[in-house]
Every structure is written in structure tokens, then in C-alpha cells.
Amino acid sequence: MSGTNPWLSGPQHPAAASVSERALVPVSDPRASTSVGRVPAVISARDLVKTYPSKGKPDVVAVDGLSFEVEAGESFGLLGPNGAGKSTTMKMVGAVSARTAGELSILGLDPDRHGPEIRSRLGVVPQQDTLDGELNVRENLYIYGRYFGLPAKVCREKAEELLAFAQLEDKATSKVEQLSGGMKRRLTIARGLINDPRILLLDEPTTGLDPQARHILWDRLFRLKEQGTTLVLTTHYMDEAEQLCDRLIVVDKGRIMAEGTPSSLIREHSSREVLEVRFGSDRNAEAAERIAGIGDRVELLPDRVLVYAGDGEGALEAVTARGLQPLTSLVRRSSLEDVFLRLTGRSLIE
Ligand SMILES: Nc1ncnc2c1ncn2[C@@H]1O[C@H](COP(=O)(O)OP(=O)(O)OP(=O)(O)O)[C@@H](O)[C@H]1O
Ligand SMILES: [Mg+2]
């Protein structure tokens, strides 16, 4: 099979190559074969659907016809609010949940028929940590590698390498329950790398972490990306999507609302700057009416009024020139949050 499938060439146990070796010598990087034409996407979904039965009610349509492709080495994001269908999509891509309809190909394989082979080549960081609380940090890595059928020696070496990668060397013999949330997340990511996957699926890798822990994780993920690992991540943090994703889809209610690079999405769906003004919760609506016409667009939120404009300071001058005195004002660059608001009429963080 490896003769026809560019993704399945390489060593039987790719974990035998260390993280640093991979950085220097990409293992049969399929992108190198451009001379023989365009290499197929590592993940390809077409009209992907997932429904869940619901007792006495119509089925829940969690994923409603998603089509997207992820190329090797890319960092691809699914951005959307709670219930958008992100985890459901990740589970189908991770070959742990069968699709209801549509086409799905992972590394050139159909997850319905090649689940074990796909799973052995992916790294998975689920939304909920599934670390073994009975085992210590090092054992969690080792046992997971053994579960993949890797030789004991490889698992031992790989565990040490990943302890360093996750900056958890001094916690190697601690029980998982003694770790902080950020450390657990780093360990889960390290565990997902034990089989040296070509694709790492990360479902909300930094939810619930403090800013410092998030930045440490972002740094680890950047390094993986530099080494050629394909990252697929879900998030409802727009700054995370802007930082980590080369390209993303904005998902709402199981459907794609927009697709592109973070900057192209912002350019396409928002203005350069945004003026945020607050007048007090009982006065915002009236103020928004009086602001109408300033900038490209005015959006009323429960706690503030947003004025979309190329020049935010200029918009603020125009607001005060109309005799309005906001309690607070802030000019910022447009973000993916604004894109989401524009596309759905709702805020991303509810
Ligand atoms: N096992 C299940 N059985 C029934 N319904 C489910 C199941 N898993 C998810 N759903 C439903 O599918 C929809 C999408 O859920 P999903 O977990 O994929 O969303 P999400 O985008 O990951 O949200 P969050 O940001 O909260 O993690 C929701 O309406 C959810 O209630
Ligand atoms: Mg989820």
C-alpha cells in the first residue's frame, strides 16, 4: 500500500526518529514530491455529516455538511462557539467516531475501513484529559507508547525526550493528580506525540489555562509545526486561532461560515479598526442609534457599542462631535471575534 500512498511511507515505527532528528531530516516529507504533481491533502472531508439520535425528538445534527482539506505541515483550525460541532468533527477525523454521511480521508485512508492504521499514525489531544491518575508522569508516557505497540526501549527513550519537550522532567515521578492544569495539558500533548505522529489533533488545547501556561503551550506547538507536524486544532479563543493557525474554518451549528487565513478573514469580513464605546447598560441602545452612520457599521452589544471603521480615533472624534460622552472608549484592531460577530450576529464567547 505504501507504494501508492505517499503518507504511508517511512519507518514502521516513526517514533524511532527523535524530535530533533525530525527537525533536521524530515522523514520522507511528501511535500518534497511536487515534481510528480500536487500531493493529496493529508485530511480531506467532503459534505461530512454527523447526527446523534435523540430520544423522542429529531436527531441532533452536530455536523451538517463540512467540507475542508488540510495539507501536510499546515496548522489548520476550527474556530466556533460551544456546540458548533468541533469535537464531533475531531472525533471523526481521529477515527474514533463513525461519520453519518459524506466522504472522509485521513492520510489517504477511509476511517471506516482503516481505523487502527489511522489511529496509529495520529496524535490526539482530546478536549477532556484522559491521563491515568494511578500512574506517574513518566509512566503515563511509557504505557501509552506500549499501547501503540512500540518496543519498550523506544518507549523509554521517547518518554525521556518528551518529558524534556514538555518541561516536565522534575515532575517525572509525580502522580498526575499532583499536576496543575497546565502541566496536565502539556503531558497530554507529550503523550499524543509518543508515536511521532504526522498529524496532531488538538481539541481546545489551552481552555482553562492561565495566560502564561497558554504561551508555554503555544511555544511547544510552534516548535512542532516548525518540525513539519501537521496541526489540527479547535478553539474558541480568537487570539489562539490568530497565533497558531495558518488557515481556519469558522464553524457555527455544524456548518462552515467562512474559511481563510486569519488575516484574510479579518480583511474580508471586518474593518481595519474597531472603536468600543460604553455608555452604561441602559444607555447603549440609544447611543447606538445616534452613532449610526459613523464608520462602516455599528454593532450594539449588551454592554457596549462597536463602531467598525478604518480609523478608530477618527470615529471617536465623530462620536463626541455628536454630543455623546462615552464612559469608556477603546480603539483596537479587528479580530476574528469581529468576523464571527459579523457572520453570525452573535458573540463567540457567550
Ligand atoms: N455523544 C453525543 N450524543 C448526543 N449529542 C451529542 C454528542 N456529542 C455531541 N453532541 C451534540 O452535538 C453538538 C455538537 O457538539 P460538539 O461537542 O461537537 O461541539 P463543540 O463545538 O466541540 O463544543 P464545545 O466548544 O462546547 O466543546 C451539540 O449540540 C452536542 O450537544
Ligand atoms: Mg468541543
Q: What does pLDDT average to over the chain?
A: 88
Confidence label for 9 from pLDDT (cuts 50, 70 and 90): low
Please state, as a whole number, how many other Cβ atoms lie within 10 Å of the Cβ of residue 13: 17
The predicted-structure confidence for 156-183, as pLDDT tens digits, reads as follows 999 999 999 889 999 999 999 999 888 9
260: phi then psi, degrees, rounded to nearest 5: 160, -175
CA distance 3 to 78: 32
pLDDT of 91 higher than 60: yes
Q: Which pLDDT score, from 0 to 100, does residue 5 have?
A: 63
Give the residue from 340, 273, 342, 281 showing the smallest Cα distance to 312. 273
**Considering the chain, what percentage of its residues have pLDDT values greater than 70?**
88
Is 60 close to ligand 1, i.e. is its CB under 6 Å away?
A: yes
CA distance 282 to 305: 12
Mean per-residue pLDDT, 104-126: 95
DSSP element (H, E) containing 60: strand 57-70
Return the CATH number of the domain spanning residue range 271-333.
Answer: 3.30.70
pLDDT of 8 higher than 80: no
Give the residue from 333, 338, 263, 268 showing the smallest Cα distance to 299. 338
Residue 108 Cα distances to 36, 86, 90, 194, 342, angstroms:
17, 22, 17, 22, 36
Give the residue from 65, 101, 68, 70 showing the smallest Cα distance to 85. 65
> Whose CA is closest to atom 17 on ligand 1?
87
Measured from the Cα of 91, ligand 1's closest atom is 18
Q: Which pLDDT score, from 0 to 100, does residue 238 have?
A: 84
Q: Which pLDDT score, from 0 to 100, does residue 1 have?
A: 46
Give the residue from 242, 147, 252, 255 showing the smallest Cα distance to 194. 147
Q: Which pLDDT score, from 0 to 100, does residue 33 have?
A: 42
Handedness of CA 141, 71, 49, 264 (dihedral sign): positive
Q: Which pLDDT score, from 0 to 100, does residue 171 have?
A: 97
> Whose CA is closest to atom 12 on ligand 1?
62
Q: What is the DSSP letter of 257?
A: E
Pocket test for ligand 1, best of 51, 52, 240 (most atoms within 8 A of CB): 52
Q: Which pLDDT score, from 0 to 100, does residue 6 have?
A: 61
End-to-end alpha carbon distance in the chain: 47
Q: Which pLDDT score, from 0 to 100, does residue 7 have?
A: 60
> Whose CA is closest to atom 6 on ligand 1?
52
Within the chain, all domains assigned CATH 3.30.70 are found at 271-333
> Whose CA is closest to atom 4 on ligand 1?
52
pLDDT of 14 higher than 60: no
User: What are the cell numbers at 166?
Assistant: 514538555
Mean per-residue pLDDT, 150-159: 96
- Rounded to the nearest 10 degrees, what angle do helices 262-269 and 336-344 cross at? 50
The predicted-structure confidence for 23-82, as pLDDT tens digits, reads as follows 333 334 444 444 445 667 999 999 999 999 988 899 999 999 999 999 999 999 999 888
Q: Which pLDDT score, from 0 to 100, does residue 32 have?
A: 42
Highest mean pLDDT among 40-44, 56-60, 280-284, 324-328: 324-328
Pocket test for ligand 1, best of 48, 57, 59, 60 (most atoms within 8 A of CB): 60
Is 185 close to ligand 1, i.e. is its CB under 6 Å away?
A: no
Q: Is the separation of the CB atoms in 185 and 206 below 8 Å?
A: yes
Is 61 close to ligand 1, i.e. is its CB under 6 Å away?
A: no
The predicted-structure confidence for 194-242, as pLDDT tens digits, reads as follows 999 989 999 999 887 888 888 888 988 998 899 999 999 998 888 899 8
Return the CATH number of the domain spanning residue range 8-262.
Answer: 3.40.50.300
Residue 90: CB partners within 8 Å, gap ≥ 6?
78, 201, 203, 232, 234
Mean per-residue pLDDT, 86-93: 97
**pTM for the full model?**
0.85
Residue 346: CB partners within 8 Å, gap ≥ 6?
81, 340
116 CA distance to ligand 1 middle (Å): 24
Within the chain, all domains assigned CATH 3.40.50.300 are found at 8-262
